[in-house]
Structure 1
Amino acid sequence: MKKIVTEKEIIAALERQTFLIEQKLNREIIKVQDLNQNLPKGSMVSLSDVHTLLPRYIYEDFYDFISVNLNDLLQNPANYVQKYLNPGDFERAAYLVNTQILRGAKGQKVSFIQRFRPHISQPGTFTTNSLLKSKQELLGVHVSLKTIDVITNKMLRAIEETLYVRYNYHKFASLTPREKEIITLLALGYQNNEIGEQLFISKATVEQHRKNLKRKLEIRRFVDLIRFAQAFDLI
């Protein structure tokens, strides 16, 4: 497997991993507690309240390296934010989640660096957030900045057993919100004129979107469109 070293590659890998974890949790294939036990040391998944971003579940082992007592964190998260996190980072994360996930397109993800204050031995974590199916919890995938390149590659091996998603996620990530809507309607059997009526656009515009999608997704058969839509939870 090619080693992931650039920031762009790390972001892409983490977003793919987040998508796959999200699928497993939404389909109740695995519990978040069990998932954490299979991840490399220095990484974890967490669940947070969608409105406050305060933690609902955090894997205890992950916070050993910054000497944070898990009970103290869960009982007084505001103190944790003030004492341990770099000023402004939490507020910035909250803004990104609110504008890009809660108000953005379905399946939108937000990635950012969460830095710690200077007295913490670890520099921080790279975090990717997405909204779970319940729409009440945020899924967070966190990786220590110290070993992010090594851990990211290990996480790929631990989580990305779905080859179709691995090889096609870049296509999914390139889609616009409108294109995702059109894929959903096409996969459900709607014709061009019906899609236009649903989305309040012209039939010609729908036809142009279909041409663009054919090129972007590199598909020729309707069954391939169905497979893509199913793999990425568009239907």
Structure 2
Amino acid sequence: MSIPTMEMELSTKIAQLELVSEDLPAVIIIHNILTQTVEYMSPWGQRILRTNLQELKDMGIAYFHRFFNPAEMDDYVPRIMQMIQENKEREFVSFFHQVRPSAADEWQWYLGATRIFFRNADGLPTHCITFALPVEQAHYINAKVNRLLEENTFLRANKHIFGGLTHREKEVLTLMGLGRNTAEMATQLNISEKTVSTHRRNIKNKLHAQSSYDVTRFAQAFDLI
């Protein structure tokens, strides 16, 4: 397939989407994988971002940094890149992300889903498509997603500290997170109470924990409880 023919096929697919884009309850975005630029965005998305398609194309990669919260990008962007690299049929990545048209606006949650949209003559992905569904501000999921975001941020910031714990210290941390006392830990782990006390002290020092809440937060963030 020649390049002009491929470009015509891509344009035809985008034109077909345009016919129904305003009837869909989601914003449609098509990205050029090779140039990392926006190829198409449905009119609804342009209105939300208070921009137009040509401006989006001219932004290039700056588009991502201007409109999206980088706190979640570390989670979903690597998964999207892996999906593209594996190049599997019907595969998609779903994710929550926050968007705002300017720094003066509040972040708005969206549920996104991305998959490969177009491939070249060699079968390699060149474009991906994303559907972004806005989450109602009053919806209970907003509070849940915000808590998840905070936990993920905490996890990334403290991964090196958690990695410094020994296997036994992680076992003790699990029981601390569950509220077990020293005697209960000693019995369950088959070690002396003195050893348990030493582990507890070392764990608090390594985690810079000032309270039982700090300890529990670590245990929860790293899926120990």
- Structure index of larger Rg: 2
Report the structure, 1 or 2, having the larger strand content: 2
Indicate the structure whose relative CO is greater, using CA pairs within 8 Å and at least 6 residues apart: 1
Please tell me the TM-score bracket, short chain as reference.
Answer: 0.3 to 0.5
TM-score relative to the length of structure 2? 0.44
TM-score relative to the length of structure 1? 0.43
